[in-house]
Amino acid sequence: MKLGTQFNPLPNMNTETSKRDKSLEKIATAVELKMEESSSRTIADMIQNQISTLSQGLINANDGISMMQIAGGALNALSDQAQMLNDLSIRYNNSALNETQKQGVQNAFGRAVEAMDQTIETTSFNGKSLFGSSPTFSLGNSSIAASIPSLSPSALSIDNQDGIQAYRESLAQASADIGSTTNGLISATDSLLNQITQTAAAKSQIADTDMANTIKEFQQSNLKLDVAQITIAHQNDVLRQNVTRLLG
C-alpha cells in the first residue's frame, strides 16, 4: 500500500520561520535603540540635532523671503512715485506755466514726497522697520546678509532733475539687491529641504523601524507557521491511523 500526502508544509514552514525571526529581530532592535544608550542611538541623536538645525535654518530663510518681498513691494511703489516726481519736475520746468500753475505742480510734488516718506516709515516686518536696516539670516551652517538703504526723498527738489534721476537709480539698485537676496534665500530653501530629506532618511536607516508593518509581518508569519504545524499534525495523525490499520 502506498502512503503519501497531497501537500508538504515543511519548506513553507522553514520560509515563514525565517521571516518571523527576521521580523522579531527588527522589533527587538527598535526596542533596544529606544531603551538603551547605544552608539547607534547616539548617532541618531546627533543626526536629529542636525535636522533641527537645518529646519530652523529653513524657517529663517522663509522669514527672510517674506521680509524681502515686503521690501521689494515697497521699492516698487517708491519707483512709481519717483517716476511721478520726475514727471512733475519736467512739468514744473516749463516756461509756459504761470505762477499759479507752477505752484499747483509744486504742491503735487510735495504731497508725493510725503507719501514716499510715509511708505518708508511704515514698511516693516514683525514690527521692525526695513529701510535703513541690514538684516542677516542664519541658515544653520551658513548665513545670508541683506542691506536696505534708507532712501529718504526728503532732500529732493522739484527744480533738480539730476537729483531726482540719481534717486531713481538708487531705487533701481536697491531693487536689484533685494531681488538678488531673495533669489539666494529661495535657493537656500531648496538646498535645506534637500539636506533635511537626505538627513532624515539617514536617521531612519539607523534608528527607525516601521513597527506597525514589522509587527504585522511577524503576526502573518506566525499565523502561517500555526497553519503549517496544524497541517503536519493532521498528516501525522492520518499516517498513524493508516499504519495502525496495516498492522492490525
pLDDT digits (tens, 9 = 90+) for 130-144: 999 999 999 988 999
Burial (CB < 10 A; 0-12, 13-18, 19+), residue 134, is: exposed
Report d(CA 192, CA 59) in Å as an integer.
Answer: 10
Q: Which three cell numbers stand for residue 156?
A: 529732493
pLDDT at 229: 52
Burial (0-12, 13-18, 19+ Cβ within 10 Å), 27:
middle
Q: What is the pLDDT of residue 188?
A: 93
pLDDT at 87 over 90: yes
Lookup result for grid cell 502512503? 3
Confidence (pLDDT) at 43: 72
CB 91 within 8 A of CB 158: no
- What pTM value is reported for the model? 0.67
